[in-house]
Structure formats: structure tokens, C-alpha cells
Amino acid sequence: MKTLIVYYSLQGNTEYAANRIAENIGADTLRLHSKKAYKDKGFAKFLSGGRSAIKQETPELEDCDVDLAAYNRVIFGFPVWASNIAPPLRTFIAEHQAELREKELAAFATQGGSGAPKALVKLKDALGIDAFAAEAVFIEPRAQQSEETDAAIDAAFTA
């Protein structure tokens, strides 16, 4: 099964997990970049990113040409912002909704606090599905790297 991991990462935690999963299962990766950068430090990070997530904004993305027809499975990865998915992921989904309906879909969330279960439900809603083939939540996998965390990432999406 050919797999693509589509992810957004602000501080490297989601990127760490995406790259580790990709290496483990032999998947390709597509990192999303918003044309307008989000703040990545201090209170402004939480204010701008959280507000954007709550408002369900769809920011313009830098070019990310991808042939989704080449993939059977798409795994989404995102940081949890205010119990929501990161807005760049919402944009990608909106732009590729029809193509994604034909795929096996899975997801993982990275978080420093809480809210991942709610965010995963919101991702399912954005995709128009009832369930993922698989899903996982990782607590700051890069920032709090450990053998236990790496083992959990390595075990994800292998079936």
C-alpha cells in the first residue's frame, strides 16, 4: 500500500513524528507551509494560532503539488491548537476533498497539553468520515523524546 503523510508542523514535534513514521512504514511525506507564517513563541503563538484554529480558517498554502492518485492511504499529522486541527491542514483538505474520499485515511496529533480527541473528531468532520483506519496521539515527541515515545511512534500505522 503506497502511503503519503500530509502534515503541518510549527515547532518540529509533528515533523519528528511524521518523518519517523515515514521511515518505519516506507511512506512519502508532504509538509504543508502556510504563506503567512504563524508566530512560534510566547503568548502570540497561542493567540494567533488558537484564534485561527477556532475560526476554522483556511490560510493560503505555499505550492504543494501532489498526485494523490498515486497513493492508497493518506495519514494526516498535525499539532493540536485549541482542541482543533492546525488551519493549513484544513486548507489542504478543502482543496483535495474529492480525491481524499477514495483513500484509506488515518491521522496522528501531537500536543503539549490536551484536546487531541476533540481535534481528531473535528478532522473526521472536515473529511466527512466517521472513523479513521488508525489514529494516534503523541505528547511532544521531539521535545520530550524518549525510548517509550519513539516505540509508540514506531508502532503506529504499521498494520
Each residue of 125-148: pLDDT tens digit? 999 999 999 999 999 998 888 999
Q: Which domain holds residue 80?
A: 3-155
Tell me the whole-structure pTM to 2 decimals: 0.89
**What distance in Å separates the CA atoms of residue 84 and residue 122, rounded to the nearest whole number?**
7
- The CATH number of residue 63's host domain is 3.40.50.360
- Cβ atoms within 10 A of the Cβ of 105, count? 19
Number of domains in the chain: 1
> What three-state secondary structure class fits 121?
helix
The 10s digit of each residue's pLDDT in 17-41 is 999 999 999 999 999 988 776 556 5
